Amino acid sequence: MTGIAESGGVLRFLTRRRNEGRIHWTDVATWMWLISGLILMFGPVIWLGLSSLKTRAALTEFPPTLLPLATKEVRVEGFANPLPLFVVKLEDGTERELAQVRRVGIRARMVDPADPTKTFDVPIEARTAVREVSPAWENYTEPLQRFAFVRFFGNSLFVTIVATIITLIVNSMAAFALAKYQFRGRGAIMAFIVSTLMIPLSVILIPLFMVINGLGLFNSLWGVILPTVATPTGVFLLRQYMLTIPDEMLEAARMDKASEWQIYWRIILPLTAPALAVLAIFSVMWRWNDFLWPLIVLSRQELFTLQIGLSSFAGELNVQWHYVLAMTFVTMLPVVFVFGLLQRFITTGIAGTGMK
C-alpha cells in the first residue's frame, strides 16, 4: 500500500466522471467549500500584505481602508509646505475642496487652493480628508537599509540548508537501522526517540544552553544547527516509509556482494525519496522559522538570522507595527516562494507518505 503503487489507481479513479452532465447537490457543496477555503486561507495573508503598506498613522484608523491611502496634499500659493486637502461641507450646505492651513481646537482654518485669498473657519466635524492611494514602501525600505539584510538572509539560508542536509542524512541512517535490522533494544530505542516528542522545547532551553556553552558553540551558527538535526519526527516518518520497502530487494543486493553502506545510499535512499522530500520541506520550514533558540545562542548581529534581525521592532513600551507587519511579510515570502515552486511535490509527497 505504498504511495507509488497507489497513484496508478488514483489516476484511473480521477479520469472517470461522476454523473455525466447533471449537477448533484454535492457538486454545489464542493465548490462552496473550495471557494470559502480560498478566501479564508489567502484572505488573511493578503490583508497582512495590504496593511504592511500603510503608514503608521493609517494603521490605527478605524474603519481600516482596504488599500493604503494617504491624505492628498496640495501646494497653495503663499504657503511654504504642501497643505492637506479636505472636502468641507459649508454652512450654506454646499461642498467644496479646501486646503487646511491649521487646526485650533475644534475649529479649522481652511483656504481655497484656487484662490488663496479666500479663507474659511469651519468646525472640524464638517471636513473629510481627500485621500489617494499611496503605498508606504518606506516600511520595507527603511528597515532593510538600516540592517545588514543580506547578511541576515545569508545566515538564515546557511542554517536552513546545512541543518536540512544533516537532518536528512542522520535521520535516514537511523531510520534505516531501525527499519531493516533486527537487534535487541530496537523497540526500546524507537519508543524512546518518539517519547521525547512529548517535552515542549522551551522546557529544555536552559540546560541546552549549558551544553552549547560547554561545547564552545555560543555565538556560532553551528550552535543553532546541531541541536536540531536529530528530530524524532524525522526518524519516525522515514522509518515508517522504509518499512514498506520489501526486504527481498536488500537480500538481492547482498547476494550481489553489495556492502551495507552501498545498500543504504544506492537502494534505500532513492526509494525513500518521497518521504525525504517531505522531511526536507518540514525541516526547511522549521529552521527558517526558528526564533527562540537562535536568539539565545547568537548575540552578535553579524550572526543574526532573518527572524531575529527583523524582529527588533518590538520595544519595551512601543511596538512599531508598521515595521513589524512589513518584516513579517518579508520573512514569509521565501517560504511561500519555495512552496510555490515545489507545491505539487510537497502535497503529493505527504499524501503519499500517508504517515502510515
Partner 1 sequence: MHLLLAPVRWLMHLIGVPLGWVQRTFGMGGMAAVFLAPNLLVFSVFIVFPIGVNVWYSFTGGAALFPAGRVFVGTEQYDLLLACDSYLDPFSCRQDRFWKGVHNTAFFVVAQVAAMVAAALITALVLNREIRGRGFWRAVFFFPVLLSPVVVGLMWKWILLRDGALNALLVSLGYQRIEFLTDPQWAMFWVIFVSVWAHLGFYALILLAGLQAIPHDVYEAAKMDGTPAMRVFWRITLPLLWPTMLVVLVLASIRAVQVFDDAYVLTGGGPGTATFFIVQYIYETGFAGAARNLGLAAAASMLMALVLVVLTLAQLGITAWRDRQEGKR
Partner 2 sequence: MKQFMTAAAVTLTAATFATGAWAQAKTDVRIMWYSDGVEGQVIRELAGRFNQANPDINIVIDEIAFPALVQTLPVQLASGQGPDIARVVDLPGLAPHFLDLRPLVKDPAYWDANFGAFLPVMRPAGSNAITGYMTQVTVTGPFINKTLFEQAKVPLPGPKATWDEWAAAVKKVADATKTPIPLAIDRSGHRVAGPMISYGAKWFGADGRPAVTDEGFRKMAKRLVDWHNDGTMSKSLWGSVSGRTYRGANEEFNNGQVVMYMSGSWQIGQFATQIKDAFDWVAVPTPCGDVTCSPMPGGAGLVAIKYTKNPQQVARVMDYLASEPVLREFYERTLFLPAHKGIAEKGLNFRTDVQHVKDALSTFAAQVPTISPDAFRINSYPLQTQVFGAVITRLGQAVAGELPLEQAYARIDEDIANALKEAGR
Looking at the Cβ atoms of 66 and 104, the one nearer to partner 1 is: 66
> Could you say which residues in the range 87-146 bind partner 1, by CB under 8 A?
none
Task: Establish if 261 lies at the interface with partner 1 (CB under 8 A).
Answer: yes
DSSP assignment letter at 1: -
Q: How far is the CB of 211 from partner 2 (least distance, A)?
A: 11
Q: In the numeric block, which cell numbers belong to residue 144?
A: 532593510
Vertex 25: Cα angle to 22 and 30 (nearest 5): 105
| Residue 240 CB, nearest approach to partner 1 (Å) | 8
Instruction: Choose the contact partner of 26 out of partner 1, partner 2, none; CB within 5 to 8 A by kind.
Output: partner 1
What is the footprint of partner 2 within residues 233-272 (CB under 8 A)? Answer: none
Report the first-to-last Cα separation within the chain, whole angstroms: 9
Closer by beta carbon to partner 2, 8 or else 315 = 315
In total, the chain counts a number of residues equal to: 356
Query: Which residue, among 29, 271, 48, has the nearest Cα to 263 in the 3D structure?
Result: 271
* Residue 14, binding choice from partner 1, partner 2, none, Cβ under 5 to 8 Å by partner class: partner 1
Cα separation, 50 vs 48, whole angstroms: 6
Map grid coordinates 519555495 to a residue: 338
CA 128 to CA 130: how far, in whole Å? 6
Q: Per rule CB under 8 A, is residue 63 in the interface with partner 2?
A: no
Residue 76, C-alpha cell as written in the block? 497653495
Give the Cα separation of 173 and 264 in Å (integer): 8
Closest among 259, 263, 283 to 271, alpha carbons compared = 263
- Give me the least distance between CB of 238 and partner 1, in Å please: 11
**Among 128, 299, 343, 347, interactor with partner 2 by CB under 8 A:** 299
* DSSP letter assigned to residue 24: P
* Contact code string over 131-150 relative to partner 2, x by CB under 8 A: ---------------x----
Among 16, 22, 102, 300, binds partner 1 (CB under 8 A): 16
Q: Nearest CA to 155 among 349, 331, 347, 350?
A: 331
Query: Which residues ranging from 155 to 194 are in contact with partner 1 (CB under 8 A)?
Result: 169-171, 173-174, 176-178, 181, 183, 189, 191, 193-194
Residues that bind partner 2 (CB under 8 A): 56-57, 59-62, 102-103, 105-106, 124, 146, 205-206, 209-210, 213, 218-219, 292, 295-296, 299-302, 304, 308, 311-318, 320-321
